[in-house]
Structure formats: C-alpha cells, structure tokens
Amino acid sequence: MSLNYAIFRSEPIYTLKDLAQIGSHNKREKKAYNSNPDIKIENTKDNIELIPLEPKYVKGFYEKTLEYKKEHDERQKTERKDRKKTFNQMLNNSKNVVADELLFTATNDFFKNMNKEDVKKWANTCMEFVYQDLGYTKEQILHATVHMDEKTPHIHCVVIPLVKKFDRRTNSERYTISKKQYIRDKQHLSELQDKYHQRLKDNGYDLERGLKGSGVENLSVKEYKKITSNLEKELTKKENNLEKSINNLEEQLKSNKPIMFDKESVKVKKETLECMNQVIKDAKKIEEMQSKITNTFNSMKKFSETLSETHKENKSLNNELSNLHLRNKKLENQIEGLTETIDYLESIIKAIIEFIYKLFHNFNIPKYEEKEFRKEFHEHIPFKLYKEKNKDDFEL
C-alpha cells in the first residue's frame, strides 16, 4: 500500500519586490503562463479563491499596513536626518519579513479521486489550521488560493504577521511585522506540522506525517544513496541469517531418522524442530523487509515528485525575480542619467532667468511691463519640479 503524506511549509518573503513577484505567480497575471508546460492555463478558471484579493499584492499590503505606515511616518518627524527612512526603505532593508507564504499540499495520489468540492473541503480544513493552530486572523491574510491548474493541487496562503509589541526603548506599544510571533523556530515548525497532520486525521483524511527531521526535500544524491545502502545492508543481513538457518536445518535433517506414526505425522529431534522454526522466522523477516523496502521507495518517490514540482516552481520564480532585479537596475541607471540631465537643464534655466532679470534692471523697464513679461515667461517653463524647488525665483 502506497503512503500519502501531508505537506505544510513556510516560505519567508523579505522585500516588497519579492512580494509583487509572488503575487504575479499566485494570481496568474503573466502572459508567460500561457506557454508554461507545468501550468494548464485552460484549468486556471478552476483555481479556488479562499481569501480573494482584487488589487495587486503590494497595493493590498499597503492597505493592510496603513496604520503601521502612519506610525512610522510620525516617528520619522523626530528622527535624525541621517537616520531617516521611508516606509519602503525600512521594510526592504530590515532583516524581518514583509510577509510569509504558507504552502499546503499532499502527495499526488491523495487528490486522485477528488472533485473540486472535495479539494475545497480539504483546503478549508487547512485554513482552520491557519486560524486556530497558527493563530492568524482573517484580516492578516493577504491572499489565499488553491492552484488546480498544476499537476498536484496546492494552497498558497500569504499572510502579513503584523502585530503590536511592547518596545522597551520607547516604553510604548509599536507595530511590527514578526513571523516569529507565529513560527518561532524549526522546532516549533515541527510541532506545528504535528498539529497540522493531526487536524487532517481528525477530519477523516488518511495522510501520513512526513518524517521528522528527515529533510527529504533537501536530500542530496549522496544522502539518498546512503539510505538505499542502509536498506540493502539490512536486507543482506537478513538473507544471510536465512541461508545460515537453512544450512543448519539441512545438517539436522541428515542426522535425523524420522519415524512415521501415521500418514500426517513424523517424529523429529528437538534440535531439528528448532532449526525449522528458525528458518520460518527468518523467512518472515525477509518477507517483511521486502515489503518495507517497497513501501519506503514508493513513498520516497511520490514525495520526491511532489517536492520536485515545488522546486521547479521556485526555480522559475527565482529566474523571474533575477530578471526583474536586472531590469530594475537598468531603470535606476536610466533614472540617474535623466536626473543629471534635468539638473543640467535647470541650471541653464536659472542662468537665463538671472540674465533676463539683469536686463530688466539695466534697461529700467517699467515695473508693470516686467511683471507681465515675467508672468508670461514663468507659465511657459515646463519644469514643474524646478518651480517647486525654486519658488523664490517666481515671486512676481
């Protein structure tokens, strides 16, 4: 019998750029998905929105963290100039997460005979875990969706662990985003995975708990070979024991002279009977071992296939993220170049203005004519930013 595993993982999101990228994937906002072999775009309509989100991820994030931003901006008013940061700079440059992505799935066979309603019922059980075991509120969930358009159905649940905590430095409560408030460390994550598995079992789902601390998703070829080697050694040892028991039995049978009592019974020595029993016992161990090996390899294979899909998905996301970082860098360089050009043009405009004002002064132009000229001239200067930065130049 093949085993089905319950899978729950947590993936931290550290910047708003990463959040935007994950949002594009989860909401299927890219045309590239039309040609992605891992996504059946014709099935995307069957994806289940557990907690819908109309705007894009970053806009949704700002809406949920509005009070946090107000608090931050107010604090910056009294901050030293060299230590001031915008809300975005504070979020992106800190070591804390901006959000956390919770992923729920199981091995592929678990979903084989499920229809959409069955999957939704399983997904709602997973969301009960998010609310009741992890402790998140609905207001903290940015978006939750079930992808039905990939090989194995799975849930992407993006949460914002926004909390108010007491700050000793200011002796007051302040907003912060803290994943550790909900998942403290690896040990705590393991305990939560126990709770997740138990919740599924209590709701009638026949799933196994993943091997604790096994790190199956991170197995290298070397480690996989080690597991295989250990199983083979154990099997070889049991086969040797069986062969030894059979040899002992053969030796005993050579010296044993059975006496027929009736057609169904024979008389044998005690030692011979013990050897026969040992052969049966060792043979059963071999049979049990072979079953264990078959189940282990089948389970590892299925588990590996599911994780392989996730890794492939993560690799695709990382590639897209790298491309976005590269494009962003190019845009920053272009903006820097444009800024230098604007600064240069502004200096020319300022020189022209100063030159015109000197002409007004040197040629004693009447004030009302100077005023009309300056008004006409200022209205036609296209540099709005320059006007705002140099208001004194535009006083009539």
Q: Are 248 and 271 in contact (CB under 8 A)?
A: no
pLDDT of 247 reads 74
The pLDDT, as a whole number, for residue 377 is 61
Q: Which two tokens stand for residue 267?
A: 């008389």
pLDDT at site 56: 95
Q: Give residue 352's pLDDT.
A: 72
Per-residue pLDDT band at 262 (split at 50, 70, 90): low
What SS3 state is found at 266?
strand
Flag whether the pTM goes above 0.75. Answer: no
Other C-beta atoms within 10 Å of 89: how many?
10
pLDDT value of residue 176: 93
Measured CA to CA in angstroms, residue 116 lies from 45, 47, 146, 326, 363 at distances of 12, 9, 10, 40, 85
Higher pLDDT, residue 155 or 282: 155
Alpha helix locations (H) across the chain?
16-26, 57-64, 66-76, 87-93, 116-128, 186-202, 221-255, 270-362, 367-379, 384-389
Distance, in Å, from the CA atom of 392 to the CA atom of 396, rounded to the nearest integer, reads 9
N- to C-terminal Cα separation, the chain: 89
Tell which phi-psi region holds residue 215, choosing left (phi > 0), alpha (psi between -120 and 50) or beta: left
pLDDT digits (tens, 9 = 90+) for 121-134: 999 999 999 999 99
Angle at 275 between CA 271 and CA 276, to 5 degrees: 120
Q: What is the mean pLDDT of residues 379-385?
A: 55
What pLDDT digit, counting tens, does each position of 200-211 carry?
999 999 888 765
More reliable by pLDDT, 345 or 73: 73
